[in-house]
Structures are given as C-alpha cells and as structure tokens.
Structure 1
Amino acid sequence: MEGIAQFKVAGVSSPCETWYKVIGDLKSEAVPLIIVHGGPGACHEYLLPLADLAPSMPLVFYDQIGNGRSTHLPDKAGDEEFWTPELFIDEFRNLMRHLELTGRPINVYGHSWGGMFIAQWAARPGAANLHRLVIASSLASMDVWRIGITALRKKLPLDVQEVLDRAEETLEFETPEYEAAVEVFYKRHLSLARPWPAKEVQAALEWFAKDSTTYGTMYGPSELYVSGSLRNWTSIPELSGIKATTLLINGAEDEAKDVAMQPFFDNIDKVKWVTLDNAAHFAHIDQREKYMQHLRTFLLS
C-alpha cells in the first residue's frame, strides 16, 4: 500500500506531502518497523532490501520531505534555519499520527542521517511507545564523525588526498577530478558490493544528483566535507533519555567508524552493538543475509 500524509510546515504556504509505502498489515498483532532513510536526501529505495523482513513484521518506508516522492522545496536551498533535524522529527511524528501508530508499540530503524534525528526523537517523552530501536551506520555528533572521516581520509592514496585538499581550498567541488577522488573513498567506505555501484548505491547517488537541496544545505558537497547546517550537530546530551532497547550496527569498513558510534553505546542504557566484517556504510547490501538475520533476531526478541 502506498499513500500520502499531509504535513503542515511553517514557512510553506500549502501543506507538504510525505509519501510512504506499507508492506504488510499494520492492523496485525506484529510490531511494525518504521524505516528511516539517510542522506539527507538518499530516499527510501536504497533501503528496500529490508523488505526481506516483511514475512516477520509489517514495514513502513517513507521519503522525507525535500526528497523522493515527497514534496520537493528547491526554493529553500541554502536555508539553514528551515532545514533542521526538528523539521524531520516533526514529519516523523506527523506520519506516525497519520498511520495511527502513536498509541501502540513500534520498532524504528534509522540509517545514517536517519539514525541521527531518530536518536533525538527516541530520547524524548513522545517516544514512549518505542519498543526497539536500531541505529545503523550513524553518528552521535559531527565532532566524532570528523575524527573517523579524517582517519579514513589519511589512508587514501596521496594523489587522491591532494585533489580533496585542493578542492576544499578553492571550494571548487564540481570538477571531474573531485568526483573521481570522492568515488575512491566511496568504493572503500560506502559499499564494498561489486560491480560498483550496486543498484541501491546508484539509487541513493541519483537522488542526490536530482535534487541536492537537503543534502547540500544540511551536509555539504560530499561525505568528505561538512559545510552545511549539521556541521555542529550533536545528540550526545540527549542520548541518556533513550529507554528503548537499542541495536547499533555498522560495517568494519564503514565511513561511520566506531568512534562515531561509541557515544550511543556509552550513553544508551539497554544497548547491543554488532559490527559486520567485509561491509561498509551500506552494510545491508554488502552482507545482506547476515544483516537481516541480526535485525530479525533483535526485533523479534
């Protein structure tokens, strides 16, 4: 089932639309899993392998506003006061109300950027119905993220590092040389699946290219340069508020290195952490069978 949730947003004249897709029966006894994509702006398609879980539980996929099949707002490009984590937390709450899921147990999976703002939502009183939380390949703050990214960057070939450094000095990011250098990093730390890019990786990259409003405004020109509104973001002061049992999952070659995930482990009371070998940021693609096994075991326990 596909549908639209109307979402009223301050500063936008008419209601926005959040597109969603439900696999399974939300009226069943099984606890549904809401799947929150990353980016910002990668859209739900790259997480569709999680449909492997559908025999065990109802699933809800959705595209966040500004992206995918939801309302696009290109006129808000560069508006850092508009594109905030609070906007996406509000959208998530609105979708839960629309689907009549606020008064019953739910499980939530947040990947990368999705894990960032969902961790903030999960730490607040309004998340009392959260049964299980999965934070996948995400980061607890931009400061710890930068530590990890910097360490990975120093392991790149010197000529690649030089191209990245030069682009940041000149702020010229839209060159073939920069794109090629970024791809070297992505092949090591975004996904290890070959041939490159896997269709799910391609889907995410294509959405960034089609409409870079949210990613460009909130993050930056690539994963290697954080210049957007999230540059000083942190969830660490809030994390002790997460009461739901939580699974952390990342890949051994993930751009979300352990240092970026560690504050989740240190500050969430009931937490388990799994790191998959031979997997990067799209660990659900690189080690699909093992990944789904871990999710299924955790969510059904």
Structure 2
Amino acid sequence: MLIAMPVTTRTVPFREYETWVRITTPTALSPGALPLFVLHGGPGMAHDYVRNIAALADETGRTVVHYDQIGCGRSTHLPDAPVDFWTPDLFVEEFHAVRADLGFDEYHVLGQSWGGMLGAEIAVRRPEGLASLSICNSPASMALWMDAAAKLRAELPEETQAALDRHEAAGTVADPEYVAATMEFYARHVCRTTPMPQDFLDSEAQMEREPTVYHTMNGPNEFHVLGTLRTWSIVDRLDQITAPTLVVAGEYDEATPETWAPFAERIPGARSHVFADASHCTHLEKPEEFRAVIADFLHHHDQA
C-alpha cells in the first residue's frame, strides 16, 4: 500500500505581503539529504504545473518546497503595482524570505523556465548554503530566447504564421484565432503531452484570471515577448556562479540549445542533459526520467 507523503501549506511574510508555501516531507528522511526548493516559471504561472516534482521527496528522502511567487497563485496579488516593481531582484529577495522563514540554511535550488533564470540570479550572488542549482528549460538571455522563438515560429504552417502576424499587428492577441495559433506552437514546443496535463492547465488558468506578472514581465505568450524581461541577460555574470550546476532541456524545447548553451559553457563545471522526444515541460512529459536525472545530481551534491 502506498503511503501519502505529508504535505503542509502555510504563508510566509514577505515585505507587507504573503507568499504561499507548500512543503512535502518524505515518509523517511535520508541522512544528509538537503531540502530542494522548486521555482516555477512564467513569470506568474504558479507552482501547480511543477507540483509533480514533489515526488522527489520520497524518492530521495528529502523535503521539497514549492511556493507561488508574489503576484500569482495563492500568494498576494498586486494588479496595481507599477511596472518597475516587477524585477528579478524582487523575486530573489522573496526566495530568501521563504528560505529563512522555513529555517533552511543548506539547500538545493531547481528552477523551471523563468524559475531557472531566477535560480541563476540567486546563484550569481553566491549565497551561503546553496549546495546545487538545476536549471531546467531556461534561456540565459531573452535575446537568445526571442531569436529561438522566431526560428521555431518560422517552422509553423504558413496559415498559422499568418494568423499570428495578422493579430499581433492589429493588437488582437485575445482573438480565438490567435489563441488557436499559439496552441499549435505550444503543442510542438511547450508540452507535447495530449491532452495537456491538468496541473499545467491549472497553472495556465490562474495566470489567465489575473495575468499581471506574466503580461508585465513577459507578454501575451511564450514567443511574443514585450515585457520588462525582454532585455534581461545573465550571460556576462555566469562565471560568478560557484554552485555545482546541472542544465537540462528537451529535444523539442522552445528553450533551444542556443538559448541555454551559455549556462553550460560559462558556469564552471556545469553539466547538461537533453531529454529525447520532450519539449519545454520535460518534467510533465518524461516525469520518471526527469526525476531520476535530478535525483542523481542532488545525491552527488548533498552536504552533511
């Protein structure tokens, strides 16, 4: 009989706001197994679609922490915050507020998509206690991301490209025809599982209900980037990362090899792994294989 892992939820104070946290505890804690913080993407997609990574708790005997970043999910929403409020520094500060409140001084960080970008922002500051960093399906700069998106978009059917171009030029990106065209891209390069997993749909639905963070920092979708992150890059700072680093991506990922190559090339000692027949949500498309790769990496970098 399977025994459900203990899961607790709580809120953590962050500035004058609250960050919602989900803590999964293994049924048997392994000696020396450090906690893992899982950083979701978007920005603004909430933790639901990366929730299955919590299975690493029992698989590796460690605590796994998810949280909804400020502005989305179950954390405080700030639809009236000014544009310049939403910065990577804000989310780095929030991470350490959560970590400190939970009392974890040694830990691993895993970030998916934007979460990997945030993980790199955390790591370049060389925080004491960071045992390892796993960067999953993430670009090292938004310029590289947009170049890759343009190339992948050019491979879509001509009528799909025409619909995207037409509605972007008209500013009608909420039109059903435009939404349908974006789903063609998503089915190829975001999540190739059919039907889309419910956890992904739940994250997307909460973002669509209140899209402040996603629309402000990114834009209307994955390949039409108009937000404040469009000039973001960490390429020139990557040599400052000292934590052991694993970089993973999918074969058909919208984060193409060109987007994540700087992580592998510039972070001293970084390893990389590409999952065959998977795309941007590798952890949903190949969950057991994904967790096995991550578990092995974490095990080798646990500290007593």
Same fold (TM over 0.5): yes
Matched residue, 2:67: 62
TM-align CA RMSD: 1.4
In structure 2, runs of 5+ residues without a counterpart are: 1-7
Is 1:231 equivalent to 2:238 in the alignment? no
Give the percent of matched residue pairs that are identical in Structure 1 and Structure 2. Answer: 37
CA distance in 1: counterparts of 2:237 and 2:118, whole angstroms:
11
Matched residue, 1:112: 113
Matching residue's letter, 2:185: F
Matching residue's letter, 2:68: D
Give the secondary-structure state (helix, strand or coil) at the position aligned to 1:135. Answer: strand
After superposition, give the CA deviation of every residue in 1:175-232 in whole Å (9 maximum; x if it has no partner). 011000000000111111112x221221221122111000011100111201011010
Is 1:99 equivalent to 2:102 in the alignment? yes
CA distance in 2: counterparts of 1:288 and 1:27, whole angstroms:
22
Matched residue, 2:216: 217
**Aligned pair partner of 2:14 in 1, 7, 23:** 7
Count of aligned residue pairs for this structure pair? 289
In structure 1, runs of 5+ residues without a counterpart are: 9-14
Pairwise CA distance, 1:136: 0.3
Pairwise CA distance, 1:96: 1.3
Matching residue's letter, 2:277: N
Contact 2:219 2:226 in 1 (8 A): yes
Matched residue, 1:245: 244
Pairwise CA distance, 1:128: 2.5
Contact 2:142 2:233 in 1 (8 A): yes
Pairwise CA distance, 1:27: 11
Is 1:149 equivalent to 2:149 in the alignment? yes
- After TM superposition, the runs of 4+ consecutive aligned structure 1 residues lying more than 6 A away are 25-28
Is 1:164 equivalent to 2:164 in the alignment? yes
Matching residue's letter, 1:81: D
Pairwise CA distance, 1:132: 1.1
**Aligned pair partner of 1:73 in 67, 74, 78:** 78
Contact 1:80 1:228 in 2 (8 A): no
CA distance in 2: counterparts of 1:68 and 1:27, whole angstroms:
31
Pairwise CA distance, 1:99: 1.1
Give the secondary-structure state (helix, strand or coil) at the position aligned to 2:258. Answer: helix
CA distance in 2: counterparts of 1:249 and 1:80, whole angstroms:
31
Matched residue, 1:12: none
Contact 1:244 1:270 in 2 (8 A): no
